[in-house]
């Protein structure tokens, strides 16, 4: 694990900058910042598969769309699907089950969002929209 940066640093998510870039069928993800308590990643979705599984985390998760639109569906039928646009912020409570994908599915450009969340040893995100 890297030490906390001591100098300001700009990460250009729309240019795919970041650490540990990972390509998955459900999207690309790269780490922007990680320290013992906190992690920030960006996720890029374009032509991705819709994950058939639900993401869940024991922690709060905050998503911010920076390009395109993102559809977020919830396992709990009481929570209607949400369409997020640039600048929208979604706060996912602990243990919320959801999945996220580019919207509309035939959009020409990618959807990029930033996810921030606490890092804990108990974090067991299954099929995370930001671990793509």
Q: In terms of pLDDT, which residue wins out, 73 or 7?
A: 73
Asked if the structure places residue 3 within a domain, the reply is no
89-92 and 98-102 strand pairing = unpaired
- What domain count does the chain have? 1
CATH of the domain at 45: 2.60.120.10
Asked if the structure places residue 54 within a domain, the reply is yes
Asked if the structure places residue 4 within a domain, the reply is no
CA–CA separation, 110 and 101 (whole Å): 10
Q: Give residue 88's domain range.
A: 29-118
Asked if the structure places residue 38 within a domain, the reply is yes
CA–CA separation, 30 and 17 (whole Å): 8
Instruction: HSE, CB side, 13 Å, CA atoms: give it for residue 55.
Output: 21
Asked if the structure places residue 59 within a domain, the reply is yes
Q: pTM here?
A: 0.83
Question: Whole-number mean pLDDT of the chain?
Answer: 88
Q: Where are the alpha helices (DSSP H) in the chain?
A: none
Asked if the structure places residue 89 within a domain, the reply is yes
Residue pLDDT, tens place only, 34-48? 999 999 999 999 999
């Amino acid at each position: 694990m890297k030490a906390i940066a001591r100098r300001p640093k700009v990460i250009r998510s729309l240019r795919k900058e970041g650490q540990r870039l990972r390509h998955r069928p459900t999207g690309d993800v790269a780490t922007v910042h990680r320290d013992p308590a906190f992690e920030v990643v960006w996720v890029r979705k374009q032509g991705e598969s819709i994950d058939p599984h639900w993401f869940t985390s024991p922690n709060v998760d905050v998503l911010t769309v920076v390009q395109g639109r993102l559809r977020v569906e919830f396992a709990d039928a009481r929570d209607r699907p949400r369409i997020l646009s640039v600048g929208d912020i979604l706060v996912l409570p602990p243990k919320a089950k959801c999945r996220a994908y580019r919207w509309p599915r035939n959009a020409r450009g990618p959807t990029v969002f930033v996810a921030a969340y606490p890092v804990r040893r108990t974090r067991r995100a299954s099929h995370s929209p930001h671990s793509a």
